[in-house]
Amino acid sequence: MLPPAAMPAILAQAGGPVLGPDWVLAIMALGVLVALAGHVARSRFVVAVGVGLIFLATAMMLVGAFLDYRGDGSDPRPRDAPGGF
């Protein structure tokens, strides 16, 4: 099994994340809907699958952000944004 620390290097060699932010949000929304359906159906397994989808989307978002901004010392926010430099 691969160590979690190796995942960013593997994704970087593959050309970065394939899914955009809209797909990450869609997977999160699907996870919420599946978890809610699991609660309605009183199925712990379905709730766990929904929560797992939410965690998967969160991990994808963090890895995608890391790959997008690694090695770039500049602030990605516009300079006129609150808190921008």
For the stretch 24-82, pLDDT in tens is 899 999 999 999 999 999 999 999 999 999 999 999 888 887 877 776 666 666 667 66
Residues 6+ apart with CB under 8 A from 18: none
pLDDT at 14: 58
Q: Are 31 and 50 in contact (CB under 8 A)?
A: yes
17: left (phi over 0), alpha (psi -120 to 50) or beta: beta
pLDDT at 49: 97
pLDDT at 55: 96
Determine the Cα–Cα distance for residues 7 and 77; give it in Å rounded to an integer.
Answer: 26
Domain boundaries, given as residue ranges, for the chain: 15-69
pTM of the predicted structure, to 2 decimals: 0.63
| Mean pLDDT (whole number) for 3-15 | 62
| Mean pLDDT (whole number) for 4-30 | 71
